[in-house]
Amino acid sequence: MTVEALSDVQERLAALQAAVAGAERDQAIVAGLKDASPLVRQNAVALAARYLAPELLARFLADDEDATLRNGAQAALERQGPHAIPHLLALTRDANHELAFFAVQILSTINDVSAKQALLPLLDHPDRNLVQAAVEALGHMRAVEAVPALIRLLASDSWLQFAAASALGRIGDARAVGPLLERLDDELLAEMVIEALGRIGDADGLEPLLDRLVSSDRLPLRDQLLLAVAAILEDNPGLRGVRARARLWRPDARAGLRDYLIGLLAMHDAMLARSVGVLVVRAEMWDLMPALLQRNPDPGEESWLEGMLRRCRRRAQAELLPLLQHTDPRVRAGTLLQVPFDAGATSAVAGCLQDQDPEVRAAACLALGRLREPSAAAALAHALRSSDAREHTAAARALAQLPGESLAVLAPDLEPEAADEQRQRALTVLEQARSTMHEERVRALVHDGPPVVRQAALRVLGRYPGRATDEWIMAGLRDDELAVRIATVEILVRRRCRKAIPALIELLPGADPLRYHLVRALGRLHAKVAASRLQALYTGAPLHERIEIVVALNQIAPAGVLPFLRGVLDDPDVELRRVASDGFVRAAGPRELEAMVALARDADWVVRNHAAWGLGRLGLPAAQPHLAALARDVEPLVARTARAALGQLAADNPDVKA
Amino acid sequence: MNGPLAEEEWKLLLDLVSREFGLVFQESRRRHLEGRLTPRLQALGLESFGAYYRYLARHPDRGAELHVLARILTNNETYFFREAHHFDLLVQHVVPQLSLPARPGPLRVLSAGCSSGDEAYSIVIALQGARLDREGLSWHIDACDLNPARIVQAREGIYEAESLRACDELGRHAHFSVQGDRFRLRPEHRKGTSFFEANLAVAGLDLPGAPYHVIFCRNVLIYFSEEAFHRAISHFHRALAAGGYLFLGHAESLIGRRSDFKPVRLCDSIVYRKQDTGT
C-alpha cells in the first residue's frame, strides 16, 4: 500500500457503506469480499453476514479460483451463526467433499450444540480430510458422545490419531486415559498424548507421566510432561503418594530433574514456573524452595503457591522457617509473602521488621497482617510511620487486618500534633478495617486539617454501620473545598443514604462542577422526588450534565418519562441519543413496538443494541422478524444481544422460531 | 433485569481508545486494562466504566483525562539498547550508506514512540561509541511519544536499574552516574536530542524535524489498529528523506503490507528503505 493507496482504500470503504442502501448492494458486498485491502474485506464480511443469504455465501465456499472470496464467505457464515446452521448442516452431506469440509469447519467455529449429532456420522466418512475436520469440530464442541468413536480412531492412521488424541484431551473424559497411555511411547504421537492426559487430569495418568518426567531429558517433551503432571496434581488435590514415589527416584535422576526445574525457574514463563511449584510442593522437594521463592512472581502467582503450601502448612512451616535467615533478600521476602505461617512463627516474622532490606520489611508487615496477631500491632504502627512507601503501605494493609481493638495503637497518629501525612495514613487504616475506634477524634478531623485529611476522615465515617453517622457525613456537603463536597456526595451514595436526598436536591441550582456529581448521585439513589427537578434542569444544562440527567432519569424510572426520552431521541448528539435509547427500551411497553422497531434500524450500533435488548424484553412474537434481522447485524455485539433475545422469545413462545 | 451494558461499555471504551490513540486492546487484556483504569474511576468519583466513557466522550475536562489515559495505556516496557543489533546496524551499515561526506547538515534521526527516551539516548551513545562525532558527523535526534509524562521523564534522563538491564557494568559506569538507587544519564549523551509530544495515529501529523534520514519505531505499532498502523507508516514515509531507513521491532513487518518501503536485509535483520512513489 502506498500513501495514495491509503486514501483509495478510504474511498472504497465509503463506497461500500453507501452501496448498502442501493439496488446494487449484494454485488458491492461481494466485490468488497474480494478487495485487495484487509480493511475493506473486514467491513464487507460484516455486511455479508448481515445482508447475504447463506446459500449465496456457500456458493463462494466452493470457489477454487478465488481463495480471498472463499475466506470472506467463510468468515461471513461464521458471523451469521445460528442463522447459517441449517444450511451448513445440509452442506456437510454434500457430494463435494471440500464443500462439506468447509461447512464442518464453520460449524466448529459457531460451536452450537445442535450440530453435534449431525457431525458424529462423519467420523466414519471415507474422506480422511472430512473425518479430521469432524474430529476437530467435535473436540472443540466437547462432544462426550464422540468419545468411543474417537478412541477407535487412535488406532487409525497417524494423521487422524493426532487429531483424535487432541479432541479426547479437549473433551476431558476419563474413558480415554487407558487408550491414550497405550500410545505414550509412540514417538510421533507422544507430545499430543501427554497434553491430552494433562487436560483430562485423571489420577490414573499420573504415575506413567511422572516416571517419564524423571527419566526424560528430551526437550520440549519434558516441558510437556511437566505441564501434564502439574495439571493432574492440581485437578486432584487429595491425591497422595507423590512424595513416596519421589523417594524412589535414583539420586542421579533426581539431580537431573532438579537442574532442569531450576533452569525453568530462571525463565519468564509463568505457566512452567507454576508447574514447577506444583511438583516441588507435592513431592516435597524442599531444597528447591529458595529458587522458587526468590522469583519475582507475576500478580496472582503468590496466591496459588500460598494456597498449595497451605495444604501442608505445618510441614511447610517447619521446613521453610529457616529461609527467613537466607542470605538472599529475595528469598527472605518471597518466604514472607508466600509461606502461610501460623501464630507459632510470629516472633520470627516480626524479627524481619528489622531487616536491612525495605522489600523484606514490607513483606514482613504483610505476613504479620495475615497472621492477625494483635501483639504485632505496635511494631506495625511503627512501620506505618516509615518514610519508605513500600513499608508504610504494607503496614497500613497489615494493620487493617488485625482485630479491631489492636488499632488503639494509632491514637498518637490521630492527635493534632501529628503530621498531616501521618494522620492520613492512620485514617486509611481505620477506613480499610471498617473500624469505629477513635470515633471522637475522627469526627473532629472532619472539620480539622487540610482537605485530604478531612476527606480521609469522612471516608472512615462512611464505613460506620447504622444511620447515626449520616448527619456528621452530610456536614461535608457544606465544606469550603469542592473536592471534599464531591467526596461527601460519593460517600453518601455508597451508604445508600436516602436521608441526604433533600439536601442534594437543594444544592442542584448551584452551577459549579458539583452539580455533575449531584445529578449522578440522585440517579444512583433512585430519588423519585428529584425526577421533575432534573427534567426542569435539562434544557439549560451543559451537554455533559444533560447526558447524566438522562442516565439519572433512566435509573429513577419515574412514571411518564417516555415522552421526555422520545424528545431526547431526536437530539443530534449521539451520546444523548444512546443514553435516551437505553432508558426508552427499559420503560417502553407493547404500545411502543413501532418506535422500538425504528430504533432497531438506527444508524448507531449502540441504539440498535438497546433496541435488540428491548425487543427481547417485550417478548412479543411480532418482534421476531426484527430480532432475526438484528441477529445478523454488522456489529457482532448487537447480533449476540439479538440472538439471546430471540432464544428467550422462542423459549417463551413455542410458535416463534429462534 | 440487567441490561446488555457491561459488554457495550467495554466496546465503547475500546472504540474511543482506538479512535483517539489508534491503539487496539484484545479481549485477553481486558482484566489487565480494567485493573489499570479502576484507579481513574475512583479519582474522578465515577461508579462504572460507562460513566468513565461518557466523561471521556463529553465532559469539559475530557482533554486532561485523555492525557492521563494515554499515559496509562502507553506505559510500556522500554530499556537501553533493546534489540541492540539495530544500533550496530545504524553505525556500521546505515550511516555509511547515507553518503555522509556528501550530505550537508547533521544526520537527522527520529525515535517515534520514544517512551522515556531510552532508545533516543541509545542512538547517541552508539554514534559516540563509534567515534562518528570525531569524524565530523553531527546529528539531531528527535524523539516523540503520546504520553506527556514519559516526555518529562525522557528530558530528566533519570532511570531505574531495570532500564539498564541490557547494559553491562562497564556501560553503566561509562554512561550513567549513580543517584541513590537510580541512574542519571551523563550530560554528554544528551547532545543533539530533543523530545516532543505527538500522536502517530492521527491524520495530518506534523513532524517538525523532517526530513529524517532514519526513523526508529520499534515495538510501538504492535498495539495499533490496522488503520492507525497504515497512518503511522504513511507519516514516516512523508517524513523520511529519499532512500531513508525505517527500523521496526522484531514483531512488526511491512512485508506484504506496504509497497512504498522496500525490505532490506542487513546482516540477519530486516530494515525498510523508503521507495520513491513518484509523487
Summarised one tens digit per residue, pLDDT across range A557-594 is 999 999 999 999 999 999 999 999 999 999 999 999 99
Q: What is the pLDDT of residue B2?
A: 36
How far away is chain A from the Cα of B47, in angstroms, using its nearest Cα? 9
Mean pLDDT to the nearest integer, A315-332: 93
Residues contacting residue A251 through CB under 8 Å, at least 6 positions apart: none
A4·B45 Cβ contact <8 A: no
Please give the C-alpha separations between residue A245 and each of A210, A521, A523, in angstroms, as whole numbers: 9, 62, 63
Residue A450, preceding bond cis, omega within 30 degrees? no
How many Cβ atoms from other residues are within 10 Å of residue B257's Cβ? 14
Query: Look-up: residue for cell 454434500?
Result: A94
- Cβ of residue B19 closer than 8 Å to a chain A Cβ: no
Interface contacts (A, B; CB < 8 Å) = 73
Which has the closest alpha carbon to B112: B137, B143, B141? B143
CA distance B155 to B194: 8
Mean pLDDT lowest among A5-19, A224-238, A366-380: A5-19
CA distance A617 to A604: 20
Q: Which residues in chain B touch residue A9, judged by CB atoms under 8 angstroms apart? A: 230
- Residues 260 to 279 of B: which have CB under 8 A from any A CB? 260, 277, 279
Model confidence band, residue A516 (pLDDT cutoffs 50, 70, 90) = very high
Residues contacting residue A151 through CB under 8 Å, at least 6 positions apart: A164, A168, A175, A176, A179
- Cβ of residue A3 closer than 8 Å to a chain B Cβ: yes
Q: Which residues in chain B touch residue A6, judged by CB atoms under 8 angstroms apart? A: 230-231, 234
CA distance B232 to B216: 12
Query: Look-up: residue for cell 480521609?
Result: A456
CA distance A270 to A267: 8
Residues A63-84 have pLDDT tens digits of: 778 888 999 999 999 999 888 9
Give me the DSSP letters along B56-94: HHH-TTHHHHHHHHHHHHT-----TTTTTHHHHHIIIII
- Cβ of residue A479 closer than 8 Å to a chain B Cβ: no
- Cβ of residue A419 closer than 8 Å to a chain B Cβ: no
CA distance A567 to A546: 13
- Cβ of residue B256 closer than 8 Å to a chain A Cβ: no
User: Would you state the cell numbers that stand for residue A251, as one nine-digit string?
Assistant: 539420586
Please give the C-alpha separations between residue B202 and each of B93, B199, B228, in angstroms, as whole numbers: 32, 6, 8
Q: What is the pLDDT of residue A464?
A: 93
User: Would you state the cell numbers that stand for residue A576, as one nine-digit string?
Assistant: 444523548
ipTM of the complex: 0.76
- Cβ of residue A387 closer than 8 Å to a chain B Cβ: no
Residue A220, preceding bond cis, omega within 30 degrees? yes
Phi, psi of A76, rounded to the nearest 5 degrees:
-65, -40
- Cβ of residue B161 closer than 8 Å to a chain A Cβ: no
Q: Identify from B234, B235, B253, B254 which residue to disrupt to test chain A contact, counting A C-beta atoms within 10 A and taking the largest count.
A: B234
Mean pLDDT to the nearest integer, A260-276: 82
A606·B259 Cβ contact <8 A: no
Helix-helix angle A574-587:B49-58, to 10 degrees = 150
Give the closest of A2, A524, A612 to B277, CB-based.
A2
Phi-psi region of A129 (alpha: psi -120 to 50; beta: other; left: phi over 0): alpha
How far away is chain B from the Cα of A2, in angstroms, using its nearest Cα? 5
Q: What is the pLDDT of residue B104?
A: 65
Q: What is the pLDDT of residue A300?
A: 60
Phi, psi of A621, rounded to the nearest 5 degrees:
-55, -30
Q: Which residues in chain A touch residue B1, judged by CB atoms under 8 angstroms apart? A: 617
CA distance A45 to A69: 10
How far away is chain A from the Cα of B166, in angstroms, using its nearest Cα? 16
A486·B237 Cβ contact <8 A: no
Q: E strands along chain B, which residues? A: 107-112, 139-145, 158-159, 176-179, 182-185, 193-197, 212-217, 240-248, 261-266, 269-274
Q: What is the pLDDT of residue B3?
A: 38
CA distance A121 to A124: 6
Kindly list the strands in the beta sheet with B176-179, ordered across the sheet, starting from the edge strand earlier in the chain: B158-159, B182-185, B176-179
Query: Look-up: residue for cell 478465488?
Result: A66
- Cβ of residue A338 closer than 8 Å to a chain B Cβ: no
Residues B133-157 have pLDDT tens digits of: 777 788 999 999 988 888 988 999 9
Mean pLDDT lowest among A75-79, A359-363, B119-123, B223-227: B223-227
- Cβ of residue B58 closer than 8 Å to a chain A Cβ: yes
For the cut 60, the answer to whether the pLDDT of residue A4 exceeds it is: no
Q: Which residues in chain A touch residue B161, judged by CB atoms under 8 angstroms apart? A: none
Mean pLDDT to the nearest integer, A373-379: 92
Q: What is the pLDDT of residue B279?
A: 39
B230·A544 Cβ contact <8 A: no
CA distance B247 to B237: 12
Mean pLDDT to the nearest integer, A407-431: 95
- Residues 582 to 611 of A: which have CB under 8 A from any B CB? 582, 586, 606, 609-610
- Residues 548 to 587 of A: which have CB under 8 A from any B CB? 548, 551, 573, 575, 579, 582, 586
Mean pLDDT to the nearest integer, A616-637: 93
Residues A468-507 have pLDDT tens digits of: 899 999 999 999 999 999 999 999 999 999 999 999 999 9
CA distance B49 to B38: 8
| pTM for this prediction | 0.74
Q: Which of A119-133, A228-242, A288-302 has the highest mean pLDDT?
A: A119-133
B231·A6 Cβ contact <8 A: yes
Q: Identify from A296, A606, A634, A643 which residue to disrupt to test chain B contact, counting B C-beta atoms within 10 A and taking the largest count.
A: A606
